[in-house]
Amino acid sequence: MTETAIVFEEIASTNGKRIGRATINNPGALNALTLDMLDPLHKQLTAWDTDAEIAAIVLDASGDKAFCAGGNIVALYKGLTGQGDPDYPDRFFTLEYRLCHAIHMLATPCIAWGHGLVMGGGMGVFSAASHRVVTSASTLSMPEIKIGLFPDCGATWFFNRLPGRLGLFVALGGARLGAQDALLAGLADRAIDHDAKTQVIDALTQISDWAQPHAAVDRVLRQSAKEQPAELGPSKLLEHATTIRDATDAATLGGIVGGIRKLGDSNDPWLAEAAANLDGGCPVTAHLIYRQLRHGRYLSLKQAVMRELKMALQCCRHPDFAEGVRALLVDKDKTPHWHFESVSAVPADYVDAHFRPPWDGDHPLRDLPDVKP
């Protein structure tokens, strides 16, 4: 990790205003978040939000490969397996969820520049921003099915807002979404050429009227998207919407899993990859995703984040998460030995346990605000 994992700066604007800029600066690890990055980022964003002279916030990342590939999973693994701080996983998830919720709550316009990989917890950070920009290189995904976790950091909130059962399909299959997919699904707001980022920030500093800050920022981004658009490929979600709807049209998780697995015979590599991810993925995770989204549809953002923290910390206390990380990222043998061999073999009470609080006393996130200022 670089010496300064997050770079903060303030850029002078007109009328005495300033633009706050936070740059995730861990490109060697695809800008993955570590525990020591979370609290400084949270504190700086919330401090800017209370500063009347900060007109807007830009959240971006160093390098050309990734905005943020999620949390540093190997560090979590070491904590889970006795090779590192045993308190690391609990502290990491608690602070990560607090950060993502805080970004959702910002009253100040926040522009997330989602260039390159946007994965896992990176999706949570990106999705929380008020103005989300993708580029031609953007790839969004939450492939937690492959490591025995579940799509978190507010995914209950934003996946349930995808049309139809697209969110369920993307979560169960760990499907990769391009910039066009993100725009059509409502996971991004603008597509702009990555080379125009400096010009976009310069344009923000030239805004003279900040009476309606969100509208002012949107005008800049809209104009930039028109004048310097990102080159967008086709949308796989749009192309296969009917196929996805049919594959997930079942009354039970088993029926949905069976429908998605049949897509493994598709001639389309994108569909086949999603089917393979589910087929080789964690059976418990499939249950967690199904219940997370089905029962979380009407939760508030605070309720969703609080519920996800229970799930994440329970995953840390059950064997599949550590095993999934071992197989994919530590030993890299890609042959995880899941606790149950199939979705049908997972007992209901085993799934139930993942939704119970693993702590005594009050919820660690009980103080989160319920509504945006």
Residues 168 and 256 sit within 8 Å (Cβ to Cβ) = yes
> What is the pLDDT at residue 3?
62
Task: Give the pLDDT score at 373.
Answer: 73
The highest-level CATH class for domain 6-353 is alpha beta
Strand partners, 18: 12, 54
At residue 325, the pLDDT reads 97
Query: What are phi and psi for residue 138, nearest 5 degrees?
Result: -70, 135
The sign of the CA dihedral 47, 53, 58, 61 is negative
pLDDT at 15: 84
CA distances from 359 to 79, 88, 197, 306, 355 (A): 18, 15, 44, 13, 12
Q: Cα–chain-centroid distance for residue 14?
A: 33
Do the beta carbons of residue 53 and residue 18 sit within 8 Å? yes
Confirm if 194 and 217 have CB atoms less than 8 A apart. Answer: no
Q: What is the mean pLDDT of each run of 10 residues along the chain (373 residues)?
A: 82 93 96 96 98 97 96 93 94 98 98 98 97 98 98 96 93 98 97 98 96 97 98 94 96 97 95 97 98 96 98 98 97 97 98 97 95 79
Please state the domain extents for the chain: 6-353
